[in-house]
């Protein structure tokens, strides 16, 4: 009896916690005058402790980023550049396999605007954002900026604040407003995507993010790529030639070593300069935005395919010979300037081999934004420069180098296969964003099996490329490498049948983005052995699940079983954790499959409702236009909460059987299910 009392008290606490509209962000805004015709629109967020708001540049596949819409711009005003952000933090999310870019405590968004219509009095904007802690909320807020006196003929003057919070407040259109510190109560479109995968079962906590981890991974991969570039036919033969030049032309050994070190530093300066140039042209923040954009993912895919085909021997990517000749003449000047031009000559002459590798590093580094390209180029150039410096210091080491030969082209072709496989990651990103389902998980894995299978055949000498030398026998090293690639290829095959493939978890599309979430030919199960009801599909662990509440309730009534509502989201981390760790428990899974009817309502489903199904919410006054809007309105109107995951048990008439429950451990969840089933039987 005492245990039952404790259980009921716990349920009451959970109900009290979840049954409220959570608003952890307060907004304020102001206008700053830049010139007679230019102003800055500034939107500031004050974020409660432990909550995070996600940047505009959060990569696709992770939490939902801030989206800002500037309304009625045509003929009235022009946006100058992209919306700037205040400082952000970055952390790798193991569940989603992407970096999260987010704000803590405060976020500031600044947009410079040029006024075209002198009669324009206000500018309206709307901002959609996601804020997370143990749960996450997708919310929105609207602003109406009151403009100062506009004089289109006045040149730029010193920036002045026109309506700061302490003086003239800016009118902001929200349901409630107190001065300019606003708690928006526009409809909360909720998605739970809690930040970290290492959370406890009862109260998840997020560790401090480490941006350095991402930059170090860029450096490490680029450093290894630099060593790979050394082993190509365009670079490797230059090592003894260049070292010999420094040792013979220098008057003393010390001078030769000094010149070689200068040469190595020059190589680093040239490539790092290239990385900084890319960052400067596109902008540190814009790089990440470009890399997560559908169009640019497709461009990156095409570039990597182009590079891969070049490495496989179809053609050579070369810079104009006139460039090399001009640089070579400058290298004869001697001194530091001459050595710098020698390094530049190396970059130009070896471009046919290093160009595709450099391009791949820049593309991959762009997905991290910031100074990623410069860090990538530093790692690459350091690996490229070190042998020239070390062999100049210790010329005797040259005798240990293998002779140039056909094996150098083998390295080049090997890199071509790797670039070919990597290219499809970018195509997959674009496909996931567009939800075209053209490159689902099985197709992606099949392509990788084909690519790495062909690579294994190449290493075994069964396939040759245009520039390969005759291969009378296979070396032991090449044989071992071929066996390793073949092992990896065989490892990929079960992925076609639904194996998780943890070694490459960050590359293929997620399990649910597939022709069959259970894999084709993957055997039978309780769910697979029975016909699906109309409107149902297979959910996690082969549970029969509906995605429409009315259809599910009607079916539950027809079979006389209680209905379990799963308020969830496509980008919901804790929802996936509950499914993977709690629903997978054999006791819980048995109840979900045999004793309950499951309906999963995705609050972030962006598909539009038919026009005749769209409506205005009686509770919030918001227009309900998408499927996600509909289920968000449902959870807010009925349960007065806007957080996920949340679970509800109902009888066949839609009446709740027990208090709602959220992100808990297995035993708590199992006890909650049993209590609801017991109440249903009564």
* Segment 97-117, tens digit of pLDDT: 667 788 988 999 999 998 888
Q: Are 657 and 672 in contact (CB under 8 A)?
A: no
Among 135, 57, 58, 47, residue whose Cα is nearest residue 100:
58
**pLDDT at 562 > cutoff 90:** yes
Arithmetic mean of pLDDT, 656-671: 90
**pLDDT at 187 > cutoff 50:** no
pLDDT at residue 364, as a whole number: 66
**pLDDT at 188 > cutoff 50:** no
**pLDDT at 667 > cutoff 80:** yes
pLDDT (tens digit per residue) in 415-473: 889 889 888 988 887 787 666 788 888 899 999 999 999 999 999 999 998 888 888 88
| Least trusted range by pLDDT, from 24-28, 43-47, 371-375, 433-437 | 433-437
What fold characterizes domain 536-681? Glutaredoxin (3.40.30)
The percent of residues in the chain predicted with pLDDT above 90, rounded, is 18
Arithmetic mean of pLDDT, 213-229: 77
**pLDDT at 414 > cutoff 50:** yes
**pLDDT at 549 > cutoff 90:** yes
| Least trusted range by pLDDT, from 60-64, 150-154, 394-398 | 150-154
pLDDT at residue 355, as a whole number: 67
Q: Are 520 and 510 in contact (CB under 8 A)?
A: no
**pLDDT at 559 > cutoff 60:** yes
**pLDDT at 594 > cutoff 60:** yes
**pLDDT at 216 > cutoff 80:** no
pLDDT at residue 405, as a whole number: 62
**pLDDT at 213 > cutoff 60:** no
Cα 258 to Cα 442: distance, rounded to the nearest angstrom: 55
Place of tokens 């409506």: 615
What fold characterizes domain 22-161? Immunoglobulin-like (2.60.40)
Cα angle 470, 476, 481; round to 5: 90
pLDDT (tens digit per residue) in 376-412: 888 888 888 888 788 777 777 766 766 666 667 788 8
Q: For 534-578, give the secondary structure using H, E and C.
A: CCEEECHHHCEEECCHHHHHHHHHHHCCCEEEEEECCCCHHHHHH
pLDDT at residue 148, as a whole number: 83
Measured between its terminal Cα atoms, the distance across the chain in Å is 18
CA atoms within 13 A on the CB side of 492: 23
Among 448, 454, 572, 424, residue whose Cα is nearest residue 503:
448
Which of 279 and 644 is assigned the larger pLDDT? 644
| Least trusted range by pLDDT, from 142-151, 427-436, 609-618 | 427-436
**pLDDT at 157 > cutoff 80:** no
pLDDT at residue 670, as a whole number: 93
Cα 421 to Cα 481: distance, rounded to the nearest angstrom: 17
**pLDDT at 9 > cutoff 50:** no
Average pLDDT, the chain: 75
pLDDT at residue 154, as a whole number: 52
Q: Please give the model's pTM, rounded to 2 decimal places.
A: 0.47
Q: Are 62 and 39 in contact (CB under 8 A)?
A: no
**pLDDT at 10 > cutoff 50:** no
| Least trusted range by pLDDT, from 216-230, 613-627, 664-678 | 216-230
Structural domain boundaries in the chain: 22-161, 212-401, 536-681
pLDDT at residue 491, as a whole number: 94
**pLDDT at 58 > cutoff 50:** yes
- Stated as kind and residue range, the H or E segment containing 364 is helix 351-366
pLDDT at residue 486, as a whole number: 96
**pLDDT at 325 > cutoff 70:** no
**pLDDT at 165 > cutoff 70:** no
**pLDDT at 673 > cutoff 90:** yes
pLDDT at residue 362, as a whole number: 73
């Amino acid at each position: 009896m005492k245990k039952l009392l404790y259980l009921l008290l716990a349920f009451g606490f959970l109900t009290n916690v979840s049954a409220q509209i959570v608003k952890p962000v307060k907004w304020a805004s102001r206008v700053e005058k830049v010139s007679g015709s230019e102003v800055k629109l500034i939107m500031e967020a004050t974020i409660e402790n432990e909550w995070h708001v996600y940047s505009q540049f959060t990569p696709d596949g992770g939490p939902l980023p801030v989206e800002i819409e500037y309304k009625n711009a045509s003929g009235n005003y022009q946006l100058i550049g992209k919306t700037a952000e205040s400082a952000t933090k970055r952390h790798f999310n193991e569940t989603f396999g992407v970096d999260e870019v987010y704000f803590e405590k405060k976020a500031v968004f600044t947009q410079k605007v040029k006024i075209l219509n002198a009669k324009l009095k206000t500018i309206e904007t709307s901002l959609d954002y996601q804020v997370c802690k143990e749960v996450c909320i997708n919310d929105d807020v609207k602003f109406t900026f009151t403009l100062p006196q506009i004089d289109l003929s006045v040149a730029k003057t010193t920036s002045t604040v026109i309506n700061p919070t302490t003086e003239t407040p800016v009118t902001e259109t929200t349901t409630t407003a107190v001065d300019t510190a606003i708690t928006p109560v526009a409809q909360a479109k909720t998605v739970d995507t809690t930040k970290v995968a290492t959370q406890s079962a009862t109260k998840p906590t997020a560790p401090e993010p480490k941006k350095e981890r991402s930059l170090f991974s860029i450096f490490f991969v680029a450093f290894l790529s630099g060593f790979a570039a050394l082993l190509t036919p365009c670079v490797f033969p230059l090592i003894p030639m260049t070292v010999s030049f420094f040792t013979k032309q220098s008057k003393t050994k010390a001078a030769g070593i000094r010149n070689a070190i200068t040469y190595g530093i020059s190589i680093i300066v040239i490539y790092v300069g290239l990385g900084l140039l890319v960052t400067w042209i596109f902008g540190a923040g814009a790089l990440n935005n470009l890399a997560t954009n559908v169009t640019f993912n497709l461009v990156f895919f095409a570039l990597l395919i182009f590079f891969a085909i070049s490495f496989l021997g179809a053609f050579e990517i070369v810079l104009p010979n006139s460039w090399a000749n001009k640089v070579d003449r400058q290298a004869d000047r001697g001194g530091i300037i001459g050595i710098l031009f020698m390094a530049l000559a190396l970059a130009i002459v070896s471009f046919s081999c290093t160009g595709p590798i450099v391009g791949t590093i820049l593309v991959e580094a762009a997905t991290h934004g910031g100074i990623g390209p410069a860090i990538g180029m530093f790692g690459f150039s350091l690996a490229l420069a070190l042998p020239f410096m070390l062999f100049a210091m210790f010329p005797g080491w040259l005798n240990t180098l293998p002779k140039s030969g056909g094996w150098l082209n083998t390295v080049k072709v090997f890199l071509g296969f790797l670039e070919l496989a990597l290219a499809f990651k970018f195509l997959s990103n674009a496909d996931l964003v567009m939800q075209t389902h053209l490159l689902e998980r099985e197709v992606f894995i099949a392509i990788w099996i084909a690519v790495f299978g062909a690579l294994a055949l190449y290493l075994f000498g069964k396939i040759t490329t245009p520039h390969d030398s005759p291969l009378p026998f296979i070396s032991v090293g090449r044989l071992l490498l071929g066996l390793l690639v073949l092992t990896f290829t065989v490892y990929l095959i079960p992925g076609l049948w639904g194996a998780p493939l943890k070694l490459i978890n960050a590359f293929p599309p997620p399990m649910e983005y597939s022709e069959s979430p259970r894999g084709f030919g993957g055997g039978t199960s309780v769910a697979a052995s029975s016909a699906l009801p109309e409107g149902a599909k297979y959910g996690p662990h082969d549970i029969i699940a509906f995605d429409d509440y009315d259809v599910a309730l009607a079916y539950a009534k027809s079979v006389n079983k209680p209905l379990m509502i799963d308020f969830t989201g496509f980008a919901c981390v804790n929802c996936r954790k509950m499914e993977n760790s709690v629903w997978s428990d054999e006791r819980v899974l048995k109840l979900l499959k045999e004793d309950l009817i499951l309906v999963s309502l995705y609050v972030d489903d962006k598909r539009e409702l038919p026009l005749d199904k769209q409506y205005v919410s009686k509770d919030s006054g918001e227009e309900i236009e998408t499927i996600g809007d509909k289920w968000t309105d449902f959870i807010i109107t009925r349960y007065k909460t806007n957080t996920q995951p949340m679970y509800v048990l109902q009888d066949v008439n839609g009446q709740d059987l027990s208090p709602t429950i959220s992100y808990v451990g297995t035993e708590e969840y199992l006890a909650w299910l049993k209590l609801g089933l017991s109440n249903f039987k009564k």
